[in-house]
Structure 1
């Protein structure tokens, strides 16, 4: 709607205008800012606003009910009935409302969540997956071909520490269940036990050497425990709606990374630093010194990531952009990596998206210290609470139905809670808040959808456009304006790599509907045509909410 009106104003005025939604209804529904025009024309912005208001009035645009100039702004008040006809007609006949094909023919590779074997799957990984899923869905919505991939660090120092713990702390005794979680606990215990003890560090180094030799009892233990981790990851990722097109492993590319480091030395991109380590001096770019190889010849994360970039290019040669999603603490590291690739004539657009940490109420999580919040723990806590709530509300439901509904509600509460804040911000995940049915939560949005389902059942799904011209109340206009924003909202979320734009929109749209619902009768409206119009408005609100929730990988429920 906004773009359509911009085009009409451009045709009328013969130049572009800055048109946007007004911050409050006293200033109209839409506003034109005249600052840029004033700068171009060397005139007073208030004078330009007054002139524009007069010209727009003369245009007699059907959708504009009133025009006024206030200082440097032109405020436009829209006709609710005409707005309803335009918005509801457009949305009702467009299953792909909010979509756009500007990405058609382009391909994007998105790597996430890039977890480590032999460690827990915690809520930090959960936030990574939530962000990645939204980006995959948004890119698809705009016509891109998307390839979700994963890169798993299955060969780092953390693996050697975990195997040391199994060998020296547990005497090789294995658990009967929850093996992936057990590995994470062993890693944390081993890290704390090893500390700065030189003898224990030497034991770990010996285990690392045996790993790299790929033979012997240590390597057999590694293969078995690695499989435990991967099976655990697959189960959780499937539950969260993530399916990778391909998974890369550090163990497969570590040696290739060393060859690339040698090539960088030959090209004089890399050089020997103090103590014999191989580095790339990036100080001229404000990126300090990057380490590619330790003085003892061992590789580092950068070594493997150089090989991974080449492997991605080989497997996906026609990708337009390759995206990595990691914690914000790796922002600087990826700037170094991308600069080294650039210096090595690597022609492949790469983007890093950093997200804030998920904290405990007591502070930052750490796998090494063992104070992590596991995904399973959070899921179980939320599920148990919501299961009891659902059982109390619906004593007539079967246990199967309660469990099915509760699972959807649980995932909705968790996913929404992980995405409700701007990606760059650190968050403290609150289990209690995620189960709330009011406020800025996923369950509030799902409750709104369930409420509309109930309305539509009572109305016998009488959804025609015959009564949209009857929609004239302020609350109806607010709801219509929210619906009209959806296309721009999706685009903004993608441009900024920010899922919270979608969660905030879901909340705002749900709030607008509930405000409309509490103040006006729908099924029992004063006239049949008004009932028809309000039923259609309700139905389309539900469809847009469901569409937005699908972007967040959240399923709706028929009733709560």
Structure 2
């Protein structure tokens, strides 16, 4: 329910020869003071078109507007503005009935129905622990996927594992030189990380080690039995460790096809590029020149004959289009890969694939530690599992202190701790860098998930104490100062979903929920909700509606809402 849409329709009837519905939507605004109405149309733009005084236009336009059988109670001209006053009681009644009747389906839309979108998300590198850096792709991608599904799209979530490339040649070389099988089997991911970091430390002293790593990767690409056996072992151990993280985050995928799945197609890509006359030699390597697009060449095959992830990404992109027939192919990958995806798009276009413009890079900033980029090879990294466990433990201590008799404390602590970590990421514009901070992440007041979860639990507690809700929605005038901002926020929930989808930006939903919770907590502090009166049923209806929207909004972000805290 969007009263602004109704006002746009009312205005468009007399203005359709002068302004489009979209132009009217961009012009209307919310007045600063309530005595000036709920929505206003400034007439300055019309003044330019009609070459008349804007105040005169407002005077002439107001009587022409047909508001019969609408939620508009009054229209008036005030200087250069046409002001609209809503029948708040009627609007609130309709809205709350809709939310309570539809429940978690409120806000669901169908404009994406019949269309498939593929999402390349998470994609951690095997044989390395899941770092906080990989959290960003995982939770941003999961939230965008949820929002797309809410608007009707079929979403295919693809975990394109980083399981191929020179780094695995280096890891195999490190294991062959210094590895201890018993140690690796006892603690695979940590030991493999130690070997990887040690290799890079030694390579700074002995440059021949880098060549040894490249040689082992070439063996892997050529199907060498020993290299393949070690690589498969590293991959299996990694997937098992990753699954622990995904289970905690309640995230799942439709495919785990990693880079290695497209290694075999690399030769076909190279042949296609060659047949089209696109391949050129550069210092012994094979490249596709993109000078006409003001981009550096796309490196397709290195001078030692091994392929690069650009080659595999081209093969994966073609496979995804042929397999899923997507309307759009999203890649939730860091800002630093922008050039890479521009090159992939450009090469696909040169190969004659018109659907290359369906590829969209959903870029995001870095997770910083002490203002610097995290680096696995330098050993400067925060592990996600460690952060989640610490957050859950902190939440458990908080629950023990504030509500020691709470049932299922461990499960509630898990929801709070994991939610805190996810929301710390999603409340920020995805394009910005984020400073990793336990203190900021685990605060239980302010702009945090625990604050939203506690608001939801408070609403559910009120409803339990009341025992039942009612179908009466007649608000008392004294309530409007605190109730109306909530009503306006609840009404805009479907629009916020659209905006978050349009910009691929979950922070729009996160910020919306924080504002809704602030309005509700102000209402709770100033209105005696449980006091017996003729207005109690409408107050409870408002509380129930808030609980529905907060729970669904958090769910879209991939965060669970405990009934009690």
TM-score, length basis structure 2: 0.92
Matched, 1:302 2:304: no
Query: Which of 74, 77, 80 is equivalent to 2:82?
Result: 74
Output the CA distance in 2 between the equivalents of 1:71 and 1:284: 55
Distance in 2 (CA, whole Å) between partners of 1:111 and 1:447 is: 33
The Cα of 1:207 is off from its aligned counterpart by 1.9
Answering whether residue 109 of structure 2 is matched by residue 100 of structure 1, we say yes
Q: 2:300: which partner in 1?
A: 292
Q: Deviations over 1:352-394 (max 9, x none)?
A: 1111111112411112211111111211221121111111222
Query: 1:190 deviation in Å?
Result: 2.0
**Per-residue deviation at 1:62?**
5.8
The one of 527, 536, 543 aligned to 1:531 = 536
Q: Is the 8 A contact 2:394 2:417 kept in 1?
A: no
Q: Is the 8 A contact 2:127 2:193 kept in 1?
A: yes
SS of 1:383 mapped into structure 2? helix
1:251 to 260, 277, 300: 260
Residue of structure 2 equivalent to 1:543? 548
Q: C-alpha displacement at 1:253, in angstroms?
A: 1.6
1:331 to 329, 333, 338: 338
| Residue 522 (str. 1) matches residue 524 (str. 2) | no
Contact 2:169–2:213 (CA under 8 A) maintained in structure 1: yes
**What's the counterpart of residue 556 of structure 1?**
561
What is the 5 A alignment of 1:201-220?
A: 201-220=210-229
Secondary structure at 1:272's aligned position in 2? strand
Unaligned runs of 5+ in 2: none
Do the aligned residues in 2 keep the contact of 1:162 with 1:186 (CA within 8 Å)?
A: yes
1:31 matches 2:40: yes
CA distance in 2, matches of 1:368, 1:51: 71
Verify: 1:283 aligned to 2:291, yes or no: yes
Is the alpha carbon distance of 1:282 and 1:21 closer, same or farther for their aligned partners in structure 2, counting shifts above 3 Å? same
Q: Deviation at 1:63?
A: 3.4
**Equivalents in 1 of 2:157, 2:433: separation in Å?**
25
Distance in 1 between the 2:379 and 2:429 partners? 27
Give, in angstroms, the shift of residue 507 of structure 1. 0.4
Unpaired stretches in structure 1, ≥5 consecutive residues? none
Deviation at 1:458, TM superposition (A): 1.4
Determine which of 498, 502, 511 is the counterpart of 2:505.
498
Task: Report the secondary structure of 2:336's partner residue.
Answer: helix
Q: Could you tell me how far apart the structure 1 residues matched to 2:451 and 2:157 are?
A: 30
Cα 1:150–1:470 shift into 2, 3 Å: same
Alignment partners' CA distance in 1, 2:193 and 2:45? 57
Instruction: Call closer, same or farther: CA 1:42–1:128 in 2, change over 3 Å.
Output: farther
Q: Do the aligned partners of residues 327 and 226 (structure 1) sit closer, same or farther apart at CA in structure 2, a change above 3 Å counting? A: same
CA distance in 1, matches of 2:372, 2:391: 21
| 1:186-197 matches, cutoff 5 A | 186-195=195-204, 197=206
Residue 237 (1) aligns with residue 242 (2):
no
Closer, same or farther in 2 for the Cα pair 1:102/1:174, shift >3 Å? same
Q: Cα distance 1:39–1:493, how it changes in 2: closer, same or farther (>3 A)? A: farther
2:469 corresponds to: 462
1:510–1:283 CA distance, 2 compared to 1 (3 A): same
2:145 matched to which residue of 1? Answer: 136
Q: Post-superposition shift, 1:13?
A: 5.6
Distance change >3 Å, CA 31–CA 264, structure 1 → 2? same
Deviation at 1:263, TM superposition (A): 1.6
Residues 514 and 484 (structure 1), Cα distance of their counterparts in 2 relative to 1, 3 Å cut: same
Distance 1:168 1:268 in 2: 43
Tell me whether 1:355 sits opposite 2:364 in the alignment. yes
**Secondary structure at the residue paired with 2:354?**
coil
The CA deviation at 1:198 is: 2.2
Partner of 2:425 in structure 1?
418
Q: Distance in 2 between matches of 1:365 and 1:44?
A: 60
Alignment map for 1:152-167 (pairs within 5 Å) = 152-167=161-176
**Distance in 2, Cα, partners of 1:188 & 1:52:** 72
Aligned pairs, number: 553
Change (3 A) 1:76 1:187: farther
Matched residues in 2 for 1:181 and 1:49: separation? 71
Partners of 1:181 and 1:3 in 2: CA distance: 56
- In the TM superposition, 1:310-459 aligns within 5 A as 310-316=318-324, 318-348=325-355, 349-397=358-406, 401-459=408-466
Query: How high is the TM-score relative to the length of structure 1?
Result: 0.92
RMSD: 2.4
